[in-house]
Structure 1
Amino acid sequence: MSIRLGLLTTVARRPRLVHSQPPCIRHYSSVQPRSPRARIVYIGGIATLTATAYVQWHNKVERDNERLHREDKAYISGPWQVQVAAALPLKAISRLWGRFNNMTIPEPLRVPGFRLYSWLFGCNLDEMAEPDLRKYPNLAAFFYRPLKDGVRPIQQGLVSPADGTILHVGLVHERQIEQVKGLTYSLDALIGHDAESAQPSTLHPVTQDEFAEVNGIPYGLDDMIGTNAQQVESSVGKDATPAHLRGSNDPRFKTVASNTTLYYCVIYLAPGDYHRFHSPTDWVVEKRRHFAGELFSVSPYFVKLLADLFVLNERVVLLGRWRYGFFSMTPVGATNVGSIKINFDEALRTNEKEALAGGTYTEVSFQSAGPQLGGKLARKGEELGGFELGSTIVLCFEAPQDFQFSIESGQKIKVGETLGMIL
């Protein structure tokens, strides 16, 4: 009897051994999601990580391929400060700062707030056209404040387009502009590689007489700046025409004159400076190029750290000619200064979320603004536009070989003060 009970006990225990799982199976199943919802989340997470890794890899391959095929393109390289800045979403930060700038400030806070800002950054409140600080509803209006008439007299020669500090001046050597001592960047990359527009021109210069008379027909200056201009699509502004609507071969920018050379001047606008810029001479603006790019700081400190800074940043290039040939003026964007305004280009929008691909640009022509001269006439000292904080302006122009700068690097300068002249 006892033997039978033992056999029954053994048989009864066997199913437990059959249904029990080995230790390895139990360990594996313990990490799996127990519910269908958890399994879906688990699988979705793995799929998301995989897709993200693939996109990052694909973007890296595209950047590497683009680098191999674009020799003149600028790339971000530098010490750890540059790498940290490159990792930040500077364009998004600048857009956010722009919204903050346009927030209405309660009137009781305006006077103390603007006086504090002026004390911190050295603003001269005595020069303001509107001295009552309560009349400025927000920071944007204060940054973009106009000046009293007569506080910036226009001197002889080529004059400064803005208040600021001279970063660098000199000759363009082998189509390279010196950023700081020993560090250069490409003129073609700055204003556009396809441009014979970067070449000096042998077209007969725009003289003062031509501003008064074209083809033997007398014209007033008001007639020359576009009163007879055609109305074009609002998408490019009333004084601009899309570049593809006109011929791509522009005879104004072809051959190099033997008796002229290319010069450059770089001016930095600090946060406390007057933020509008003016025409440095009488010249004709024939086209505008808007380059998509980054918004790194353009402070003198950062200029020394990041090579090709002005080529990497978003910028607006105004191309044209003056009495000695080729002339260009390039306002460059910076951190918290995504908005660059050109008074005669209503359609220009900078630091847009849906921007162009890096290194590309759009171009419009101003030929319809002044048919007699082939562009928009900018008179010396005339306000052309401005920034919404501080930034940089790069002038590049053709002039006779006896042109000489009267300023030097590190010098403070104001609108209308002489940069240089023909000896």
Structure 2
Amino acid sequence: MTRDKLFALIQYPLPHHLISRLVGQLAECRIPWLKHLFIQAFIRHFKVDMDQALEPDPKAYACFNDFFTRKLKANARPIGEGLVSPADGTLSQYGRTYHGTLIQAKGQAYSITSLLGGDMYRAAPFRQGSFATIYLSPRDYHRVHMPLTGTLKEMVYVPGRIFSVNQATANHVPGLFARNERLVCIFDTEHGPMAMVLVGAMIVAAIETVWAGQITPLSGQVQRIRFDAPITLEKGAEMGRFKLGSTVVLCFGREVEFEDITMDSMVSMGQCLGELPAMQRVGGATSSAG
């Protein structure tokens, strides 16, 4: 048995939510000497680059969570053309969605319906589209931004386990991203529907959005919220953040012309991932531009 498989297997019996709550309490600790120790140890271990942070002094943060969700200096992440990465991280998988199936890792696939909360009508527009998965490592910038300008239509909280989401676990836990607790945000864009799925993970204390604040953890039931009053976020604008950990899965209802980026390459928030043709209204029907 490989080390990666053993790492994945030992997570099954662990009390995921209890561990995450305990770590979350430590991450909110405001005792100066303790939070300084925690932050400094984290910076050393993960080689975090503080030069790009708006506040580069680790001691200036009130708690670990404030440090972890730190802002960056203006223009630290230029916004590129086309579809851009919503976060710093590793582009672990991307490509077409065939018959509602996404690729998690080599030899591992899962369904768009399960990822988006089990509603086949919500998943239907994305069954023959495209997807991209970005894994945020502990050292990365953990605010999530809009890859396109979009208007929020629906938010769905989906309860679940919170396995680690690193590559070792993705290789060995079937349907990982559809098992873990997650927040599904459905947007309308000029390129058609877009789903941004913020996936929770081991020791992720919470997921926040700019329009609703902290979302997880909630109850053990799927919770669906629709937005009649428009909430429109511009491309490159912050839409949420992770308090520790995790992964963003982007889903589109149309084919993305992805850049030639090697799988498992590092990407930066704002980096161009590809192009999507715009939608046009022709005689009351929707068609592609170009």
Q: Are residues 1:97 and 2:10 paired?
A: no
1:398 Cα offset (Å): 2.2
Q: Where do 1:140-151 residues align within 5 Å?
A: 140-151=65-76
Q: Are residues 1:316 and 2:191 paired?
A: no
Q: Are residues 1:421 and 2:259 paired?
A: no
Q: 1:345 aligns with which of 212, 215, 221?
A: 212
**8 Å contact kept, 1:163–1:414:** yes
The aligned residue for residue 211 of structure 1 is none
Q: Deviations over 1:127-147 (max 9, x none)?
A: 111122221122111111111
**8 Å contact kept, 2:53–2:72:** yes
Q: Output the TM-score relative to the length of structure 2.
A: 0.88
1:407 Cα offset (Å): 2.3
Q: 1:383 aligns with which of 238, 251, 254?
A: 238
Q: Are residues 1:272 and 2:126 paired?
A: no
Q: 1:133 to 1:338 in 2, by over 3 A?
A: closer
Q: 1:173 aligns with which of 98, 116, 132?
A: 98
Q: Deviations over 1:326-346 (max 9, x none)?
A: 210000000010301011013
More helix per residue: 1
The aligned residue for residue 78 of structure 2 is 153
Q: Deviations over 1:15-45 (max 9, x none)?
A: xxxxxxxxxxxxxxxxxxxxxxxxxxxxxxx
Q: Which runs of 5+ in 2 are unaligned?
A: 278-290
1:82 Cα offset (Å): 3.7
**8 Å contact kept, 1:189–1:311:** yes
Q: Which runs of 5+ in 1 are unaligned?
A: 1-77, 202-255, 371-375
Q: Are residues 1:128 and 2:53 paired?
A: yes
Q: Deviations over 1:151-188 (max 9, x none)?
A: 00000010000000011001011101010122100100
Q: Where do 1:224-243 residues align within 5 Å?
A: none
SS in 2 for 1:304: helix
Question: Which moves more between the two structures, 142-151 or 99-108?
Answer: 99-108
Rg larger for: 1
Q: 2:266 aligns with which of 392, 412, 423?
A: 412
Percentage of matched positions with identical amino acids: 32
More strand per residue: 2
1:312 Cα offset (Å): 0.7
SS in 2 for 1:127: coil
- Quote the Cα distance in structure 2 between the aligned partners of 1:99 and 1:342: 20
Q: Where do 1:15-414 residues align within 5 Å?
A: 81-106=7-32, 110=36, 114-200=39-125, 261-346=128-213, 348-352=214-218, 355-356=219-220, 360-368=221-229, 370=230, 376-399=231-254, 401=255, 403-414=257-268
- Quote the Cα distance in structure 1 between the aligned partners of 2:27 and 2:21: 10
SS in 2 for 1:197: helix
- Quote the Cα distance in structure 1 between the aligned partners of 2:79 and 2:191: 20
Q: 1:345 to 1:81 in 2, by over 3 A?
A: same
1:115 Cα offset (Å): 3.8
Q: Deviations over 1:265-305 (max 9, x none)?
A: 00000011011100001111101000000110001111101
**8 Å contact kept, 1:180–1:303:** yes
SS in 2 for 1:114: helix
Q: Deviations over 1:193-249 (max 9, x none)?
A: 334232338xxxxxxxxxxxxxxxxxxxxxxxxxxxxxxxxxxxxxxxxxxxxxxxx
Q: Deviations over 1:302-337 (max 9, x none)?
A: 110101111110000001221121210000000010
**8 Å contact kept, 1:268–1:393:** yes
- Quote the Cα distance in structure 2 between the aligned partners of 1:286 and 1:314: 20
Q: 1:121 to 1:402 in 2, by over 3 A?
A: closer
Q: Output the TM-score relative to the length of structure 1.
A: 0.61
Q: Deviations over 1:110-137 (max 9, x none)?
A: 2x65344222112110011112222112
**8 Å contact kept, 2:95–2:132:** yes
Q: 1:161 to 1:109 in 2, by over 3 A?
A: closer
TM-align CA RMSD: 2.1
**8 Å contact kept, 1:273–1:390:** no
- Quote the Cα distance in structure 2 between the aligned partners of 1:170 and 1:317: 20
